[in-house]
Amino acid sequence: MDKILKMVAQRLALGAVTLFVVSLIIFLAVQLLPGDLAEAILGQAATEETVAAFRRELHLDLPAHERYLNWLFGILQGDLGRSLANQRDISELIGKRLLNTLFLAALAASIAVPLAVTLGVLAALYRNSFYDRMVNMATLTTISFPEFFVAYILVLILAVNMGVFPSISNVSSDLGLWDRVYRSFLPALTLTLVVVAHMMRMTRAAIINLLASPYIEMANLKGIKRSRIITHHALPNALSPIINVIVINLAYLVVGVVIVEVVFVYPGLGQLMVDSVSKRDIPVVQACSLIFAATYVLLNLTADILSILSNPRLMHPR
């Protein structure tokens, strides 16, 4: 138990250092944007006095390191700042958008994870068969296309030609669960098609790798059915790499929704970030970027920890 707690503490410390470096990169990247922020917001008709007063109001007259420390200390205290576009608190602005993004990621994961694991187990069970080749070809085809292309193909087929689902995912908090799922299905299906190939192929590879183990050969000699060997003997021992790739893809489902949300005009965090970039709302862009980075780092740490816990041998490396 002590080793597990020590390992978790080490991973959390590493994650904190990673987030600090990412926050520094985000701040520096925003500072390197061309043009003056005050002039971009006020327009060319603003006088020099107005621009100078606005810069003081935004603390743009301070040195870069002081502005970074002020921003970092505010985040540590739970203060993300105020939006330049509408002067609302960023935490209030982000709250509902983040919940929408998490709902979309959870919906996509509820479809992608069972589908990928099932396809991977069946591909390992019928290795080198026609089914195995077809599934590999279909999943590799979907993962080879960019998200926006898959999204537009689904819109053309399921929304325009067949009229089954709406092309715009206009969700709100007053919708019921099933209405929300119905309006979010196309973006969730897009994300599913993008991530299912990676999870399926990792599941297949992990199981096939274990089929050459001595205990699997013994099970074959005992006359146990191949399906039972895979589901009851190989799959539990392949959980470590499978869990690792599933959680990493869950991180992608949260962080990689930006393009999908823009295509379907989904009111999530990715859409907010794109809108804020176009409006030069720098504090909102910084907050969204940091939330995406924190989500990705935390889920990667979770994948690392779960993969070790599911395979205790990884806690005692040679």
pLDDT in tens, 162-206: 888 888 888 877 778 888 888 889 999 988 888 888 888 888 888
231 burial via Cβ count (<10 Å: 0-12, 13-18, 19+): middle
According to the model, what pLDDT value does residue 139 have?
80
SS3 state at 232: helix
**120 and 71 within one domain:** no
Whether residue 94 is contained in a domain is answered as no
Residues 247 and 278 in one domain: yes
Same domain, residue pair 142 and 284: yes
Residue 248 sits in the same domain as residue 299: yes
Look at residue 53 in the predicted model and tell me its pLDDT: 77
Tell me how far CA of residue 192 lies from CA of 196, 197, 216, in angstroms: 6, 9, 32
The reply to whether 127 and 168 lie within a common domain is yes
**Token pair for residue 210?**
């274990």
Count of domains for the chain: 2
Task: Kindly report the pTM of this predicted structure.
Answer: 0.81
Q: Which pLDDT score, from 0 to 100, does residue 64 have? A: 75
Shared-domain flag, residues 50 and 195? no
How far apart, in whole angstroms, are the C-alpha atoms of residue 38 and residue 296? 32
For residues 36 and 106, state if they share a domain.
no
Contact, 84 vs 283, CB < 8 A? Answer: yes
Enumerate residue ranges in the chain where pLDDT < 70: 1-2, 33-46, 85, 310-318
* 72 lies in the same domain as 104: no
Query: What pLDDT score does 143 carry?
Result: 78
| Containing structural domain, residue 113 | 99-315
Nearest to 174 by CA among 98, 107, 96, 264: 96
* 62, 203: one domain: no
The answer to whether 72 and 85 have CB atoms below 8 angstroms apart is: no
**pLDDT score, position 130:** 87
Which pLDDT does position 312 carry in this prediction?
62
Are 113 and 54 contained in the same domain?
Answer: no
